Amino acid sequence: MLSEERIKLMTKMAAYEENEGKRYMAIGSYFRSDYMGKQIIHSVISATVAFLLVFGLWLFYHMDTLMQDIYRVDLLGIGRKVLEYYVIFVGSYALITYIIYSFRYSRARKSLRKYYNHLKQLLALYDIESGSR
C-alpha cells in the first residue's frame, strides 16, 4: 500500500535532485578546503589571463610614447609598479572568490543536510511500513 506522506516526500526529493540538487551534490562531494582551493586556483588563473590581456592592450595603446622614451624610462620602476598592480588585482580577485565560494559551499552543505534528513525520514517510513506487515 502506498503512503501519501512517503509519496510527497519522494516527489519533493526528486524535484530537488532534478533542479538544484545536481549542482549542490557536485559541490558537496568535495571537502571544504579542496573545493575552495580549486576555485581559488581557477580564479587566480583567470585573473592572470585578464590582467595580461589588459596590460597588453595598455602596452599596445601606449607603444609610440614608450618607444620614444625607452632610454629615459625607468624600466625597473615600471616593472615593480606593474607587479604591484598585478598582486593587488589578483589578491582582490582571490579574496572575492573566497567569499563567494565560501557562501556557496555553506549553502550547498546546508541544503544537502536537509536532503539527507529527508532520506532518513523516507527510510523511517519504509521501516514503519515494513514492520506493520
Closest by CA to 108, choosing from 45, 35, 44, 38, is 35
Element (H, E) at 30: none
Q: How far apart are CA 64 and CA 48, in angstroms?
A: 25
Q: How far apart are CA 29 and CA 49, in angstroms?
A: 29
pLDDT of residue 132: 57
pLDDT of residue 33: 94
Tens of pLDDT along 42-68? 999 999 999 999 999 999 998 988 888
- The SS3 call for residue 15 is helix
Tens of pLDDT along 65-105? 888 888 888 889 989 999 999 999 999 999 999 999 999 99
Flag whether the pTM goes above 0.75.
Answer: yes
pLDDT of residue 2: 64
